């Protein structure tokens, strides 16, 4: 099934009163840590409240700096723990929303609003 965007509208179906809601990960992309201004935080909180009121909210959160990450590889005989991010990059995942939406078009619209409120780029991906 495709939406108006021409992209598939797949995701993990979750039934909600005769309507199937799909879940989407909206990743917030930034190039520095703890960079949100007080005005941006106020806008983000207001957007979160709106998501809750409209039934799109599942979960959201900000993440620590990439240097606070630990990569764990337990594919071999013993777990290997490595400090730091999996990939060195100028931009990284600074936070995220998990949203429910009827289709990808709705998720993209919500993500565009989220991008405006947090003043950052975002990436949208459906849960399978």
Which tokens in the block code for residue 61? 């959160």
**Residue 123: CB partners within 8 Å, gap ≥ 6?**
26, 27, 29
- Whose structure tokens read 């989220």? 114
| Per-residue pLDDT, 15 | 47
**Run of H or E including 48:** helix 38-53
pLDDT below 50 — which residues of the chain? 1-5, 8-13, 15-17
Contact present, 31 and 102 (Cβ < 8 Å): no
Strand, helix or coil for residue 16: strand
Q: Which CATH class is domain 14-64+95-126?
A: alpha beta
Local structure of residue 46 (DSSP, 8 states): H
Measured in whole angstroms, how far is the alpha carbon of residue 14 from the centre of its chain?
Answer: 18
User: How far is Cα 90 from Cα 109, in angstroms, rounded to an integer?
Assistant: 26
| Per-residue pLDDT, 12 | 44
| Per-residue pLDDT, 51 | 98
| Per-residue pLDDT, 1 | 42
**Residue 24: CB partners within 8 Å, gap ≥ 6?**
11, 98, 99, 100, 101, 104, 107, 111, 124, 125, 126, 127
| Per-residue pLDDT, 90 | 86
């Amino acid at each position: 099934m495709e939406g108006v965007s021409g992209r598939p509208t797949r995701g993990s179906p979750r039934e909600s009163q005769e309507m199937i809601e799909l879940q989407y990960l909206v990743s917030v992309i930034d190039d520095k840590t703890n960079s949100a201004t007080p005005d941006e935080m106020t806008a983000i909180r207001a957007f979160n409240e709106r998501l809750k009121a409209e039934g799109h909210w599942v979960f959201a959160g900000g993440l620590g700096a990439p240097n606070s990450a630990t990569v764990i590889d337990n594919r071999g005989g013993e777990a290997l723990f490595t400090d730091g991010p999996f990939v060195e990059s100028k931009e990284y995942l600074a936070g995220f929303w998990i949203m429910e939406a009827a289709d990808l078009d709705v998720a993209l619209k919500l993500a565009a609003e989220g991008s405006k409120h947090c003043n950052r780029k975002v990436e949208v991906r459906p849960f399978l």
